Structure 1
C-alpha cells in the first residue's frame, strides 16, 4: 500500500536529488532538499482538503489528478507561473521572461516579489472563502463546538461568507495595502482587484462543480425512486468505498471535471506562499521548480493515501483542522502584503492545527469504543473543546 501510493514520489525524489547533485553540486542538493521539505510542511493541510474532494471522484478522475494534475502543479505552478507573472509585470514576452529568469536572477526575483500583493490577495481571499463556507455550514461532527455551533446558525444567512470575505478584503486594502513591503508604495487598487478576482474564481469554479454534483445526486435519487440502479455512463460510476466496505458513488463527467478544476485552483492558492517563500532560499527557477515539485509529489501521494485508507472517515476532525489551517493561511497571506512572515511559521501553524485535530479524533474514537474503526456508527458528537 505504502509503496504503491508513494512509489512515484520516492522515484522522483531520488531522480531529482541526483539531478541536483549533478548540475549544482552539494549546495544544489541541499537547496532542493530544503525546498522539498518547505513545500511539504506548508502544504500538508492541502492534502487533507484535497482528499475530502478527491474521494468524491471515481477511479479514472483520481488517476487524472495524479497524472495531469501533478504536471500542472509541478511545471505549471512551480515553473511556468512565476515566469508568467514576470512577463505580465514587466510587460515582456514569454521568451524574454525566461531569458531574464536565467540570465538576471536578481532582477527576476525582484519582479516576482513585486507582484506579491496581487498574488497574496487572490490566494488569500480564495482560501478564506473555503474556510468560511466550511465554518458556516451545519455538519454532524463539531470539533471546536463553541465556535462552530454559533457559526453554523449564522451561516443560514444567504451569502454570509461572501460578505465577510469582501469586508476582510476591504479592510486589507485600506490598511496593509497602503504601504506594502513588496514593491513599495500604495497597492490598494491592485489588492482590491486581485481579491475580487479570487472571490469570483471561487464562486464560478466552486459553483459550477457544486451544481453538477447536486444534479448528479438528484438524478441518482430519481433513478432509485423508479427502482433502477443503472447510472448514466457519462455522468457517474460506482466505485469501491475508500474503506472497502461497500460501493460509493464516484463522480465522473462534468461534475468530476469541474471538481478537478477546483482542486487545481486550490493547489495554486496553496502554492503561492511556497513559490514566493522559495526566493528566500534560491532565485534559480529550475532549482526551485525541482525542489517544490518533489514536495508537490508527496502532497499528491498523501492525498491519495488518505482517500484509500478512509482516514477522513476514521478521524472525523482532520478536515476541521485542515480548514482552520486554511483560514490561518489566508490571514497570513493577506498579512504578508505588508509584513514579512517566515514560511516556518506558516508551516508550523498548519501542522499544529492538524495535529490537534488528529489527537481530538483519536480521543473521540477511544471514547466511543471504536479506535480507527471505519465501520463504526458515526453518531453526532462534539469534541467538548
Structure 2
C-alpha cells in the first residue's frame, strides 16, 4: 500500500535516487578499473562520478523548483508521464544523445562514428564538445533568460520578494513584448563584445534560442487550449510537457559542457550527471506533493533569479571561463536566501496572528 504525501518522510522521496547513486558509483568504479586496472584509477573515476552528481544537483536545484511550479497545474496523468518518460529523456537524451549529436554535427560524423570516437579518443571528443560551447551557451542562455523574465514581467503577479525590482517589472508587463526587447538588447550587447565569426555565431544561436522559446510557448498554448475543449482530456498537459523538456535541456547545457572539465569520458559524465538528475526528479516530486512552493512564498522567486543569473553567466562564458562551482554555489545561495526569507515571513505572520488573538481576548 502506497503512503500518502502526508505520511511520506523526506527520505522516502529520495529512495530511487539513493538506489541509482549506489548503482552509478559501482558502475563508475568498474569503468575506472577497466580503463586503468588499478585501485587508484578506480577511486578516481568513483570520485569524479560523485563530484559530477553534486555539480548537477547544485546547478539544477532551481530547475526542480521551476518544474514543480509547472507540474502542479498539470493533470495527474501528465505529471506521471513527465516524471517517468521525462527522466528517461533527461538522463539518456541530454546526458548521452545530446553530447553525441553535437559531435555528429560539429565533426560531420555519423552517430556510430561519434560513439566510437567518445569510447576510443575521449580527448578529441572533448575538444569538439568544447569548440561547440559558444553556440550552445548562446542558445541555452537566451532560452533561460526568457524563462526568467517571463516570470517577473507578469502584471498578475502580486507576491514580490525584492519589491523595488519586482513591482516595477510587474507594472511594466503591460508593455507588450518588453521581455523580448530586453533579451534582444542583451544579444546585441554581447555580440559587440565578440569579434568576427564568433559574433555572427552568437547572434544566430541566440535568435534560435529566442524563437524556440516563443515556439514552445505558442505550441504549448495551442495544445493545452485544444485539450480543454475535448471531452476526454487524454492529451492534457502535453504543451506543458514539451515546455518542461525544452527547459530541462536548457538547464542541462551548462552542466554537460562543464562536466568535460572534470572528465573526458562520455560514459563517466553520463553516470555522474544521471545520478544528479535522479535527485532533481526526487526534489521535484517532493515539492509538488508536499506543497512546498505554497508554504515558502519566496522560494520560486529565488529560483527564477538564479535562472536569470545562470543565463547571463552562459552569455559571459562565450568570452571567458567561469568555473561551474561558482555557477552552482551562486544559484544555491540565492535559493537558500529566498528560503530563509520565506521562513522569516512565516514566523512574522504567526507572531502577528498570536498578537491578534491576544488583543481579541
TM-score by length of 1: 0.83
SS of the aligned residue for 2:14 comes to: helix
Say which structure is richer in helix.
2
Query: By how many angstroms is 1:214 displaced?
Result: 5.4
- After superposition, the C-alpha distances for 1:147-172 in whole angstroms (9 at most, x for unaligned) are 01111111110011111111111211
Alpha-carbon distance in 1 for matches of 2:222, 2:153: 19
Aligned to 1:152: 170
Aligned to 2:271: 290
SS of the aligned residue for 1:187 comes to: helix
Query: By how many angstroms is 1:5 displaced?
Result: 2.2
Moved more, 94-103 or 122-131: 94-103
Alpha-carbon distance in 1 for matches of 2:11, 2:324: 30
Alpha-carbon distance in 2 for matches of 1:274, 1:17: 19
Aligned to 1:208: 219
Aligned to 1:364: 345
Alpha-carbon distance in 1 for matches of 2:119, 2:309: 34
Aligned to 1:339: 320
SS of the aligned residue for 2:297 comes to: coil
Among 4, 23, 31, the residue aligned to 1:15: 23
Aligned to 1:248: none
Structure 2 unaligned spans of 5+: 1-7, 33-41, 353-361
Aligned to 2:198: 187
TM-score by length of 2: 0.89
- Cα pair 2:70 2:240 within 8 Å, conserved: yes
Aligned alpha-carbon RMSD (Å): 1.7
Aligned to 2:359: none
- After superposition, the C-alpha distances for 1:110-137 in whole angstroms (9 at most, x for unaligned) are 1100100100000000000011111211
SS of the aligned residue for 2:66 comes to: helix
1:173 counterpart = 2:191:
yes
Aligned to 1:379: none
Among 84, 101, 104, the residue aligned to 2:101: 84
Structure 1 unaligned spans of 5+: 179-184, 220-231, 236-251, 372-385
Alpha-carbon distance in 2 for matches of 1:208, 1:341: 34
Aligned to 1:300: 281
SS of the aligned residue for 2:197 comes to: coil
**Shift in CA distance, 102/211, structure 1 to aligned 2, threshold 3 Å:** same
Aligned to 2:3: none
